[in-house]
Structure 1
Amino acid sequence: MSAPHVERRAEHAQPGPVHARDDASVGELIGDLTGDLARLFRDEVELAKAELKEEAAKAGKAAGMYGGAGYAVGLAVLLASLAAVFGLRHVMDIAWAALVMTAVWAVIGAVLYATGRTRMRTVRPKPERAVDSLKEDAKWARHPTN
């Protein structure tokens, strides 16, 4: 699903042809260049925001599907656990069978928690590459001849 407003913004973000003015001073030309760079940066930010909004909507819908799937799996696990308890009832008392299944799920939960916590510590919430790229762009904008 493509967003036409994103494409329209991108078309408008393109600066028109640059014509050198014979009577323009160096200061005016630098001012024009600075204004053009600022406008280009604002247009790029607007385009990025529009793209992120579109992608966030798609991600939200997918997350809803994951939530529904998780609920269905939770019900399946509950029913399988009950079936295991009733199956173990033929070998031991039903109370002990329920306690065994509770212990199994407690161990599974602890392992999943520990694994998730370890992986979460490796997450970097700051977009490092994008920040580095913006720093490079800003450095170039301050000294375009370097």
Structure 2
Amino acid sequence: MATTGITRSQDDRSVAELVRQFSEQTSHLIRDEMRLAQAEMSQKAKHAGIGLGLFGGAGLLAFFGVGALVTCAIAALALVLEVWAAALIVAGALFLLAGLVALLGRGETRQARPKPERTVANVKRDVEELKESRH
């Protein structure tokens, strides 16, 4: 057989070489994608942490704002009543409001079930279907 001086081209590579190259490129691509995802999630977590901190600061400022409004309500009532009576009325109104909110919260927590009922029902149904398919 005469040689024509042509070396083996990329098209003439063996199947084993192609599979090896495919495997290497796939694992390299997956590693690169994982690094990108990790960097992306790290950046998002940083933004989420800053956002949560800002929400916490906003909540604290709102808490102080509510305190100022309570003080304002006491001062307004103090124009027609003694200061102690105004403070007592505002405190009573706040306790009444807290009791109502607690009752609403109690009703909501009673509706919460610790067992995921729909998921349990779905799993039971799947098990029954598997049992039936075996017979």
Q: TM-score range by the shorter chain?
A: 0.5 to 0.7
1:99 aligns with 2:88: no
Per the alignment, do residues 110 and 99 of structure 1 end up closer, same or farther by CA in structure 2, a change over 3 Å counting? same
Structure 1 CA distance for aligned equivalents of residues 65 and 29 of structure 2? 53
**Structure 1 residues 25 and 37, CA gap change in structure 2 (3 angstroms):** same
Does the 8 A contact of 1:85 with 1:98 survive in 2?
Answer: no
Q: Does the CA-based 8 Å contact 2:70-2:90 persist in structure 1?
A: no
Equivalent position amino acid for 1:20 in 2: Q
Q: Distance in 1 between matches of 2:27 and 2:42?
A: 22
Give 1:30's aligned amino acid.
V
**Partner residue in 1 for 2:55:** 66
- Given candidates 9, 15, 20, the residue that maps to 1:26 is 15
Partner of 1:36: 25
Q: Percent identity?
A: 27
**For 2:90 and 2:56, how far apart are their aligned partners in 1?**
30
Amino acid at match of 1:55: K
- Residues 37-94 of structure 1, C-alpha deviations (whole Å, 9 max, x = no match): 1110110110111111122212222222111111000111122123334545657944
Structure 1 or 2, whichever has the larger Rg, is 2
Distance 1:112 1:47, change over 3 A: farther
CA contact under 8 A between 1:85 and 1:101: conserved in structure 2? no
Q: Does 1:53 align with 2:46?
A: no
Which moved further from structure 2: 26-35 or 80-89?
80-89
Asked whether the equivalents of residues 85 and 97 of structure 1 are also in contact (C-alpha less than 8 Å), the reply is yes
Q: TM-score, normalised by structure 2?
A: 0.55
> Can you give the 5+ residue segments of structure 2 that lack an aligned partner in the other structure?
1-8, 113-135
Change (3 A) 1:31 1:105: same
Q: Distance in 1 between matches of 2:65 and 2:90?
A: 19
Say if 2:74 and 2:90, in contact at 8 Å, map to a contact too: yes
Q: Which runs of 4+ in 1 moved over 6 A?
A: none
Is the partner of 1:51 in helix, strand or coil? helix
Residue type at the aligned position of 1:65: L
Count of aligned pairs? 98
Stretches of structure 1 lacking an aligned partner (at least 5 in a row) = 1-18, 119-146
